[in-house]
Structure 1
């Protein structure tokens, strides 16, 4: 795996990738709101090896080993802008056939990217993504922020993000808990997703209801499938890794056979 910091239109992003398999798509992993390359653990390598695909992971600006954000302030379209950064990164690395696997914010970014840049994206696995704001999401963010302020979570996160932790927590919680973000909704983009989509969600997701899944799969322009895992919360790939891995392998193999 190659590891390096790449300048993507002024944003210095830490990337980790393997592109040695010719005529194979690249699985791109998009982390959640407090995530990083490291926090995926060995899941990406297992999925890439099982499907014989190339793989790309990157820390979004402000996260992991990427450079810090210039400000914690975000507008409602911050995930739409991250989809543009993803497209720029793919162009920089000359990657033209991708399968996106995104978790939480990363799942939303993956879906938006598939709607905006369909020529590069052959399929999407959206795990616990959001397309609109729900009360359960706001409650989950409030509880996470309380945990951050009352436990050793800051110290645990510093292992992955260094001294950028306070900035990313502030960026995440302030926008999601703001009044202006209540109106955020990207359902209008779903009809532009023409590549196959698999939506994975834990039945007990503490950040989103199954309405996120139903409204997504019913509105995308291409084929869509839902995969709900009982007794699992917001991070199925960590809570039930084998179940998520096997389903993802099945889905990706079906895509590869049709490319």
Structure 2
């Protein structure tokens, strides 16, 4: 299951999920979260709450899986791959359902708010309102203002500066790979280092010459890191239990 970034959608993934699933031998589930892509837009007067990512992980994802008829046995084998906000949601889902997940790959996740993130999102506001960002994003969202301002307003709110999910990470028991680019303009290595400090079993992949969007900026390096990690997990499970989750 692929969870897109804060301004993402099904279309913005392009063909990366399909190629990765082919490489890994997985089936894939890709969807646009409410407010994004072709999903139900956010009403103009609705503001995302500070805990919007927790609500996605605790309420929206389980409800989606229920509607799709994905049972508990299938969920226990499922891997979640999340990017940026989607990476944070993946972590929150794994923490909330520690015995019901095959593994997590979190790419450029946020576990607390950094000044660099706020600065980059403020710069995105100017590009959206004065540059060509709105036109570029409008190709991927039925209601582009719903997508942009839902993300932008909560991230730049004073209340959100104190958002922090590091104390929840220790509940995660499934295999976990955390990926970060060295040139990420939206976050530093402190994000995935914090994950490792709370989860000794977590594996880290720090990508050189890569920014906030490894699936677009360095897909070959990212795919190699993910492939090696999944292979190690499969090998460990095969040798330990003679079956793969």
TM-score, normalising length from structure 1? 0.85
Q: Deviations over 1:14-51 (max 9, x none)?
A: xxxxxxxxxxxxxx100001101111111111111111
**Any idea what the Cα deviations from partners look like across 1:108-144, whole Å, max 9, x if unmatched?**
0000000001232111111000011110010010011
Alignment of structure 1 residues 8-157 onto 2, 5 Å: 28-70=1-43, 71-84=45-58, 85-93=60-68, 94=70, 95-96=74-75, 97-157=77-137
How far did residue 91 of structure 1 move?
Answer: 2.6
More helix by share: 2
- Are residues 92 and 253 of structure 1, via their aligned partners in 2, closer, same or farther at CA, if it must alter by over 3 Å? farther
- Residue 158 in structure 1 maps to residue 131 in structure 2: no
Structure 1 runs (4+) greater than 3 angstroms displaced = none
The runs of 5 or more residues in structure 1 that have no matched partner are 1-27
Secondary structure at the aligned position of 2:198 is classed as coil
Aligned residues: 230
Q: Which has the higher strand share?
A: 1
Q: What's the counterpart of residue 151 of structure 2?
A: 172
Q: Is the 8 A contact 1:72 1:170 kept in 2?
A: no
Task: Choose which of 207, 210, 227 in structure 1 pairs with 2:186.
Answer: 207
Task: Give the RMSD, CA atoms, in angstroms.
Answer: 1.3
Contact 1:217 1:224 in 2 (8 A): yes
TM-score, length-scaled by structure 2: 0.90
Structure 2's unaligned 5+ residue stretches are: 238-243
Q: Partner of 1:155: helix, strand, or coil?
A: helix
Contact 1:123 1:197 (C-alpha < 8 Å) held by counterparts: yes
Write out per-residue CA displacement over residues 152-173 of structure 1, whole angstroms, 9 at most, x where no aligned residue.
22122111102x1112211111
Which structure ranks higher in relative contact order (CA pairs < 8 Å, sequence separation ≥ 6)? Answer: 2
Distance 1:254 1:55 in 2: 20
CA deviation vs aligned residue, 1:30-78 (integer Å, no higher than 9, x gap): 0001101111111111111111111100100011111112354011100
1:229-248 aligned at under 5 Å gives the runs: 229-248=207-226
